[in-house]
Amino acid sequence: MRLLIKNIGCLQTPTGSYSHKGSKQGQNVKLIDAAIAIEDGIIKEITQGGKIPAGDFDQVIDAEGKLVTPGLVDGHTHLVFGGYRQNEIPMKLAGAGYLDILRAGGGILDTVRKTREATFEELYDKSAAFLDEMMSFGITTCEAKSGYGLDMENEIKMLEVIKALGENHPADVVPTFMGAHAIPPEYEGRGDEYIDMMCDELIPEVRRRGLAEFCDVFCEDSVFDSAQSKKYLEAARAQGFELKIHADEIEDIGGSKLAGELQAVSAEHLIAAGEEGMDSMAEGGTTAMLLPATSFYLGKTFAPARTMIEKGIPVCIASDFNPGSCPSLNLQLAINLGYLRYKMTPEEILTAVTINPACAINRGELVGTLEEGKQADIVIWNAPDMEMLCYRFGSNLAQTVIKKGEVIK
Ligand code: IZC
Ligand code: ZN
């Protein structure tokens, strides 16, 4: 199967299979009047200046002079869950904080109840529909975390759903085990025992079944402290997992510092990150997975993205799609916020939603740039350039979405 995309006004992409930091965060290639030849789902040839790749094609798409980029990579989602939490909004508007609601047995624990009640099929069908919607927004690869089961049966159920989605859905889905997302009611007041149970039972079982590539922990006030997070992550590393950590979302209790010390692949959120934590991340080679739509939805400040870029920390922007603090899977909205609130440039942002998250979920060799030999995951935007994509707000500008050389939208 040979596909040609011709008449590309601007083909914009980062290059390479590594994460980009500092001044390289904003390095993109821009090819004018370009074309892409695809064979069996792989990019074969890229031309510019009106030149057309040679050969016969089974299908030709005219990009009509528009912007073409790599398919977006969403590096942080809670894609699989049992129910929304719209009931929390009146409480939030009356002044209750995210952690107040969690401490009162709601928040994540509300989603845990609904996820434990849901069958595999119910969770699968809901999440597959979310993936369809994601792809319609131009996302062709995403990460998905467990963490609403919080016991053996239900964490495995969630991870089996994520695995089945990865096998059956056109999107690439990368699984993260997040058993340490909250303390379930049966362990109330016994966080240390819960962490021990994770380290002794769940982490090894998830490993044995090959159901996740990463382990993640919610290091946060009233959830898991830095010592508990460290214990969990060290047990995960000993089992061969790579590490992620939800750090400094609400309070800086040392999560970003720990991420750097453990050389975690990524620290996620970082709204409240301080100098010490950021310096530790820079030293440990830890990527920042920033979630601006969550800052917006929680009414919080925005993570210090410019400082991170200055310190040489690779920056990603992800959706954080989840039923509580960010019920949106439109990564384009996060792009708008990255532009206006993080003050990142359109070039830096493109890197933050393509190659950097691809590397943070171990898919940098496969996706995240438009280069010969990479998977043909491509978006034609209803926009002439990245500036327009960063500027227009509230519309879906993904016009044509191509995954492994197949037109999905
Ligand atoms: O369901 O609230 N921050 N985990 C940590 C979340 C947000 C997801 C949720
Ligand atoms: Zn999260």
**Which of 246, 319, 327 minimizes the C-alpha distance to 288?**
246
Q: Give me the torsion for CA of 176, 179, 182, 183, rounded to 10°.
A: 180
Evaluate whether 354 touches 73 at the Cβ level (below 8 Å): yes
Fold of 2-70+369-407: Urease, subunit C; domain 1 (2.30.40)
User: Among 32-36, 101-105, 238-242, which stretch is predicted with the lowest mean pLDDT?
Assistant: 101-105
Kindly give the distance from the C-alpha atom of residue 129 to the centroid of ligand 1, in angstroms, as a whole number: 20
The predicted structure's pLDDT at residue 385: 98
Q: The tokens of 348 are what?
A: 């830096």
What is the rounded CA–CA span in Å between residue 100 and residue 162?
Answer: 30
Pocket of ligand 1 (CB under 6 A): 78, 107-108, 111, 218, 246, 249, 322-325
The domains of the chain are located at 2-70+369-407, 73-360
| Å from CA of 291 to ligand 2 middle | 9
Whether 193 and 155 have beta carbons less than 8 Å apart is answered as no
| The pLDDT of residue 288 | 98
Q: Which atom of ligand 1 is nearest to the CA of 98?
A: 2
Pocket test for ligand 1, best of 78, 79, 84 (most atoms within 8 A of CB): 78
Which pLDDT belongs to residue 143? 99
Predicted local distance difference test score (pLDDT) of residue 125: 98
Cα 221 from chain centre: 23
- Determine the pLDDT at residue 39: 98
Give the mutation target among 322, 328, 329 for probing the ligand 1 site: most ligand atoms within 8 A of CB.
322
**Ligand 2 centre distance from Cα of residue 326 (Å):** 9
Ligand 1, atom 8, residue with closest C-alpha: 322
Q: Is the dihedral of CA 148, 154, 156, 158 positive or negative?
A: negative
What pLDDT does 159 receive? 98
Rounded Cα–Cα distance for residues 133 and 151 (Å): 29
Beta-bridge partners for 73: 141
Nearest CA to ligand 1 atom 7: 325
pLDDT at 403: 98
pLDDT of the residue at 6? 98
At residue 197, the pLDDT reads 98
DSSP secondary structure string, 66-100? Answer: -EEEEPEEE--B----S---TTHHHHHHTT--HHH
Q: 324 CA distance to ligand 1 centroid (A)?
A: 6
To test the pocket of ligand 1, the residue of 85, 325, 328, 329 to mutate (highest count of ligand atoms within 8 Å of its CB) is 325
Comparing 2-70+369-407 with 73-360, is the CATH topology the same? no
Among protein residues, the one whose CA lies closest to atom 3 of ligand 1: 325
Question: Strand, helix or coil at 201?
Answer: helix
Residue owning the nearest CA to atom 5 of ligand 1: 218
Instruction: Give burial (CB, 10 Å; 0-12/13-18/19+) of 192.
Output: middle
The radius of gyration computed from the CA coordinates of the chain, to the nearest angstrom, equals 21
Residue 131 is classified by DSSP as H
CB count, 10 Å around CB of 294? 28
CA 339 – CA 347 distance, rounded (Å): 10
Tokens of 133: 């919607």
How far is the C-alpha of 144 from the C-alpha of 216, rounded, in Å? 11
Closest CA to 200 of 192, 190, 210: 192
CB atoms within 10 A of CB 318: 32
Q: Can you tell me the distance from the alpha carbon of 402 to that of 409, in angstroms, rounded to the nearest whole number?
A: 7
Predicted confidence (pLDDT) per residue in 109-167, tens digit: 999 999 999 999 999 999 999 999 999 999 999 999 999 999 999 999 999 999 999 99
Q: How confident is the model at residue 304 (pLDDT cuts 50, 70, 90)?
A: very high
Identify the H or E element spanning 165.
helix 152-168
Distance CA 335, CA 291 (A): 10
Ligand sitting nearest the alpha carbon of 271: 1
Distance of CA 297 to the CA centre of its chain: 17
For the segment 29-57, what is each residue's pLDDT rounded down to a tens digit?
999 999 999 999 999 999 999 999 999 99
Atom of ligand 1 nearest to the CA of 107: 2
- DSSP assignment string, 8-42: EEEEEE--SSS---GGGGG--EEEEEEEEEEETTE
Tell me the CA–centroid distance for residue 130 and ligand 1, in Å. 17
Cα(64)–Cα(83) distance, integer angstroms: 41
* Predicted pLDDT of residue 222: 94
Ligand 1 center to 285 CA (angstroms): 25
- The residues pairing with 100 across neighbouring beta strands, listed in sequence order, are none
Plot region of 202 (φ>0 → left; ψ -120 to 50 → alpha; else → beta) = alpha
Candidate of 181, 221, 326 to mutate for ligand 1, largest count of ligand atoms within 8 Å of Cβ: 181
Q: Which ligand is nearest to the CA of 326?
A: 1
In the predicted model, what is the mean pLDDT of the chain?
98
Dihedral pair phi/psi, residue 388, rounded to 5°? -65, -40
Give the C-alpha distances (Å, rounded to integers) separating 318 from 13, 34, 117, 252: 18, 28, 28, 20
User: Using CA atoms, how far apart are residues 197 and 152, in angstroms rounded to an integer?
Assistant: 10
Topology of domain 73-360, CATH: TIM Barrel (3.20.20)
Angle between helices 120-136 and 152-168 (to 10 degrees): 40
| Spacing, Cα 190 to ligand 2 middle (Å) | 23
